[in-house]
Structure 1
Amino acid sequence: MAFSANPLALSVPDPTFETWLRDSGYLEILDQRTSDLHRISTTTTTSTTTTTAAANSNSHSNSTTTTTTTTNQPSGITATNSLLLSTLLNNLGTLISLFTLNPFSKLTNEDFSGDTPSWTLGFIGYSDSYSFPSSRSQARMRVTENNKRYCRNYATLFILFFACSLYQIPIALVGLVTSLALWDLFKYCGNRWDVDKYPVIREVLLRLLQCVTVAIIYACNVQMAVLYALGVSYAVMMLHASFRKLTPVKQPTKGK
């Protein structure tokens, strides 16, 4: 051995260090560390494959004729193509696994009661604020944490998409306004005629109004506008939360 072991050196295994980072709340460090390890492993694998293919090509060229060398050269291309195909399949599997996650598993009422993060620096960020998740565990960590941080932004986007869908389907807007007007009329008439004194009559009118509301919503395709808004906002939320790198909760000020 070139160097003697240092008994005072502290060596922490990777799983233990990752567990400490996760429990201590340093998820942004864990996220960056996972991306760096994946990039290093990918670069090493690509370099090894290229070196092996070049060595095989040189050995064939030294031992055989030019015709045989030309025939054996595609082996390196095949190895590179297989590596690219494997990477593509892994990335596709990671994307598909995003829609099997439950992004609302760690949401609490306190997450919606806080301030809305900045749309520019906090939510959108810069060009280097995004990267493809290297593994399913990293994608799960990003989705759950970013969903807690930007839940108010995602709720605002849902309202915006719902308004756009109502604009595209005017009859749905008419049905929604009609339903709200009926409920306001029911509340006004109930307070004026003191329907609370007659619980049976109030219950019958309430059930009848619910049936009328469902019929109006179904006839005016309000449910389609809601489904469009839910689908688009859910897809945007999952893609943004999985590709958005984790950043420190408290951004450092300039000059510090």
Structure 2
Amino acid sequence: MAPSFKPNPLSLSVPDPALDRWLRDSGYLDLLDSAATASTSSASASSTATVSPTAGSTPASSGLAVDVLSFARTLASLLALNPFARLSSADLAAPTPSWSPAFVGPPGVASYSWPPTPTQARLRVQENVRRYARNYAALAILVFACCLYRMPMALLGMLASLAVWEGVRYCRDYWGLTTSAPGIAQSLLHCAQIATAILLYVCNLHFVLVCAIGLSYAVMILHASLRKLTPSNLPDPVNYNRRAQPKQNY
């Protein structure tokens, strides 16, 4: 049977993959995030509406299994993701976003939600890491300081290692060992390395570093995956076209 309506080649309809690619390249990632959330919500609502009330507990258990499987897939995607893949030096040199309005955002579902698909989770993590790179760096420093506060011996070991390296630098500069006795200067350098390794091992500073890196990474992944994408500062297309037009002399 022939279709009732023939496709119009002059229509303005755009395929979904092409539209998603254009939104991603243009910087409108918040539209992709909101569209994915809306489509997932509508799909879950339609599947709930089609469940027969006489089916017993089988549809509920199958729906729970689907939700658990989707959660496991999203979590596995987050664990296997490299969040710094799209991070550049320009992102680190950009001004720090405000903590309350931009980083934390308004409380509630308007700012946070669990990503329903692995694709949306990867999109959120990579974009939020680029946007809030300086905020995450500040949080990492704060976590490291808190870990040092909880383990004073590690703090003393770090200060002692800094004192060792400062003493080696002072001796090399004071006696001019770099030019007069390079062998002794190299020996002092090796002694400082050995002393630093012993101090780090005795004072458990490596354990503090592992804890700080692990906690900072967990906080970053958790916030970046739950934080919804907000509109970025894009140039106004009307003003951009107006500036692009040549001036006319009357």
Place the TM-score, normalised by the shorter chain, in its bin: 0.7 to 0.9
Instruction: Specify the alignment match of 1:134 in structure 2.
Output: 116
Q: Counting helix residues as a fraction of each chain, which structure ranks higher?
A: 1
| Cα shift at 1:136 | 0.7
Sort the Cα spacing of 1:218 and 1:12 in 2 relative to 1 into closer, same or farther, 3 A. same
Is residue 27–residue 232 contact of structure 2 (8 Å, CA) maintained in 1? no
Q: What residue is the counterpart of 2:209 in the other structure? A: 226
Rounded to whole Å, the distance in 1 between the matches of 2:234 and 2:211 is: 35
Give 3-state SS (helix, strand or coil) of 1:122's partner.
helix
Deviations 1:192-228 (A, max 9, x none): 1112203322222111101110110010000111111
**2:172 maps to which residue?**
190
| Match for residue 97 of structure 1 among 67, 70, 77 | 77
Name the CA distance, whole Å, in 2 between partners of 1:80 and 1:110.
49
The aligned counterpart of 1:12 is 14
Structure 1 gaps of 5+ residues are 58-74
Return closer, same or farther for 1:7/1:19 CA change in 2, 3 Å cut-off.
closer
Q: Would you say 1:149 and 2:139 are equivalent positions?
A: no
Deviations along 1:2-44, whole A, 9 cap, x unmatched? 9887664311111111111111121111111111111111111
**Which is higher, the Rg of structure 1 or of structure 2?**
1
Q: Distance in 2 between matches of 1:141 and 1:10?
A: 27
2:125–2:225 Cα contact (<8 Å) kept? yes
Percentage of pairs with the same residue: 46
Q: Report the equivalent of 1:42.
A: 44
AA at the equivalent of 1:239: L
Out of 106, 116, 130, which is 2:86 matched to? 106
Give, in whole Å, the separation in 2 of the partners of 1:7 and 1:225: 63
Q: Please tell me whether residue 181 in structure 1 is matched to residue 163 in structure 2.
A: yes
**Structure-to-structure mapping, 1:49-68, within 5 angstroms:** 49=51, 53-54=52-53, 57=54
Match of 1:71 in 2: none
- SS class of match (1:212): helix
**CA deviation map 1:90-124 (0-9, x unaligned):** 11221232111111111222221121111101110
| Alpha-carbon distance, 1:239 to partner | 0.7
Following superposition, the deviation at residue 85 of structure 1 comes to: 2.1
Q: Which runs of 5 or more residues in structure 2 are unaligned? A: 236-250
Query: 1:241 — aligned with what?
Result: 224
Query: Matches of 1:218 and 1:178 in 2, distance apart?
Result: 13
What does 1:152-171 correspond to in 2, within 5 Å?
152-171=134-153
| Aligned residue in 1 for 2:198 | 215
Q: Deviations over 1:30-68 (max 9, x none)?
A: 11111111111111111112xxx13xx3xxxxxxxxxxx
